[in-house]
Amino acid sequence: MPRALLSVTDKSRIVTFAQGLIALRYEVVSTGGTASVLRQAGIPVTDVATLTGFPEMLDGRVKTLHPAIHAGLLADMNSAQHVAELNSSGIAPIDVLCVNLYQFEDTIAARHSPEEAVEAIDIGGPAMIRGAAKNSANVTVVVDPDDYDSVLDHLRAGTVAAIRPALMAKAFRHTAYYDSVIARYFSQIADESMFPDELTIGLRRKAILRYGENPHQQAAYYIDPIMPGGIGASELLSGKELSYNNLLDADAAWELVADLPEDSCAIIKHGNPCGAALGESPAESFCLAREADPVSAFGGVAAFHGPVDAATASALAEKGNFLEVIIATWFDEGAIDIFKERPVWGQSVRLLRAKGPGTESYLTIRSVRSIRGGALVQESDREQNPGPWRCMTRKTPSEDELAALRFQWSIAQHVKSNAIVVGTKGRMLGVGAGQMNRVQSVRLALEQAGEKAHGAVLASDAFFPFPDSVETAAAAGISAIVQPGGSKKDGDVIGKADELGLAMMFTGVRHFRH
């Protein structure tokens, strides 16, 4: 009689799978909770302890770590020596192994102690999976309930050998992912470097996307299982599935608005801000943000630092507006109804509920970007302990100017370099993004701001190499500038600001964004 060992944390569909094995005349061996579920369903089960001759030990830490199990999993039945050793030891081979692992992710996602996290680490399960996967020429290893029906069909047809290589690969992915999550969690607990010699990043697929940046590119969406915030942890409340480009813009919008005060709104198009503002209400914040560039805002992504109520939804759904995605910490029922009343909006706009900014605080946030043949890893661009700004000019900015400089500086770090942002203490008026030279970025930002640039301030993500940009800004009516400083020509730049009557602050921090 062939033998199947079933030991699963996720017990969905396990009864049906076991019934299918019994119908194929398999002996079903099981452990603890799985055995109990199967017996309640009337399925005859042999306890693992019957095979090993030992009961579960050490609070369940040791159940299957025994030669009676692992020899049965690892024996090459094409080897006469292996078969002879099994026979002499009274061990039967295991033909099917169905195991999935302790839910470590669920444990660390809830309130827990370090001791509880340790106890959620599965030892016997990964050992069995790896053994069965290594011996996939003889053993069918199953780690995913979605594969139960296919495995049973192939067992009935006698064609299971054809799918074993794919099941083997899936099994090793399963244990590698599991171990990577554990390693990352305890690396954080131990406060280890975010740049270890061997970097493992386990991601779980959330969706196959229709396509990538362009229709000819295939793409999928993966999420970080232990990152508590961000777009990856958001919930789609309404609208179509998100596209690859939607997700990129949603991430950019949420990262920006998270750095702005509560009730702020940020609008993103093609990865860059085309509007950002803080009004008296979220609705006013959106209207002010949209005014910066209504042409670009059409078809963009809007994010709110806080909830969206009915008044905000009415402003968003006004005739002439259209947004691909709206992100907020909450949507009132009235707000959702307003979107549904607009036929185009109700069918197309995606409403994303994201966890409030700051939920990532217990983790060091790491940025990973692929290059051909490798990856670049860096700490996220956040000023952990920002130093005091220094006023470098004879003119000191007023309180309003300083507030405006800080608001625009928060925006500038989310704009592709060379980045220039023009605005007031409550709104962005113009942006110059992704230009090959800073002078052109200044011109574009001022051109977009128009007459409103008079009396506004300007933020630059990096230093000015020459005074020409200061001259251009002063000619447009800019009253104060914030920049990192650090150019060999800082003296000339400061001197030009003094000559033209501008205030200039140095932050000492650069915010390139490539």
What is the C-alpha to C-alpha distance for residues 93 and 68, in angstroms, rounded to an integer?
A: 9
What is the C-alpha to C-alpha distance for residues 152 and 212, in angstroms, rounded to an integer?
A: 35
In terms of pLDDT, which residue wins out, 407 or 361?
Answer: 407
Query: At 360, is the pLDDT very low, low, confident or very high (cuts 50, 70, 90)?
Result: low
Residue 408 has pLDDT above 70, yes or no: yes
Structure confidence by residue, pLDDT tens digits, 80-106: 999 998 888 888 899 999 998 878 888
Question: Residue 429: in which H helix or E strand, if any?
Answer: strand 428-432
What is the C-alpha to C-alpha distance for residues 183 and 197, in angstroms, rounded to an integer?
A: 13
Instruction: For 215-263, give the secondary structure using H, E and C.
Output: CCCCEEEEECCCCCCCHHHCEEEECCCCCHHHHHHHHHHHHHHHCCCCC
What residues contact 463, with CB distance under 8 A and at least 6 apart?
A: 483, 484, 485, 486, 487, 490, 493, 510
Mean pLDDT for the chain overall: 90
**Given the residues 134, 395, 425, 489, the one annotated as active site:** 134
438 and 470 Cβ atoms separated by less than 8 Å? no
What is the C-alpha to C-alpha distance for residues 404 and 397, in angstroms, rounded to an integer?
A: 10
In 388-504, which residue ranges form alpha helices assigned H by DSSP? 399-412, 438-449, 468-475, 490-500
Query: At 238, is the pLDDT very low, low, confident or very high (cuts 50, 70, 90)?
Result: confident
366 and 468 Cβ atoms separated by less than 8 Å? no
Beta strands in 305-402 (DSSP E): 307-308, 323-328, 330-331, 350-353, 366-371, 374-379, 390-391
Phi, psi (rounded to 5 degrees) for 266: -130, 140
In angstroms, how far is CA 435 from the centroid of its own chain?
Answer: 28
**C-alpha triplet 94, 100, 102: angle, nearest 5°:** 130
**Given the residues 11, 170, 240, 270, the one annotated as active site:** 270
Q: Give residue 363's pLDDT.
A: 46
Structure confidence by residue, pLDDT tens digits, 261-301: 999 999 999 999 999 999 999 999 999 999 999 999 999 99
Count CA atoms closer than 13 A to 308's CA, side-chain side. 29
What is the C-alpha to C-alpha distance for residues 20 and 38, in angstroms, rounded to an integer?
A: 12
Instruction: For 72-132, give the secondary structure using H, E and C.
Output: HHHCCCCCHHHHHHHHHHCCCCCCEEEEECCCHHHHHHCCCCHHHHHHCCCCHHHHHHHHH
pTM of the model: 0.84
**C-alpha triplet 112, 233, 263: angle, nearest 5°:** 110
What is the C-alpha to C-alpha distance for residues 63 and 15, in angstroms, rounded to an integer?
A: 21
Work out the average pLDDT over 309-336: 90
Let me know if 70 is a catalytic residue. no
Query: At 68, is the pLDDT very low, low, confident or very high (cuts 50, 70, 90)?
Result: confident
Work out the average pLDDT over 487-502: 96
Neighbouring C-beta atoms of residue 191, cutoff 10 Å = 8
Query: Which residue bears the tokens 């959620």?
Result: 120
Let me know if 414 is a catalytic residue. no
| Closest C-alpha to 328, from 224, 413, 236, 206 | 236
Count CA atoms closer than 13 A to 485's CA, side-chain side. 14
Measured distance between the N- and C-terminal CA atoms of the chain, rounded to whole angstroms:
62
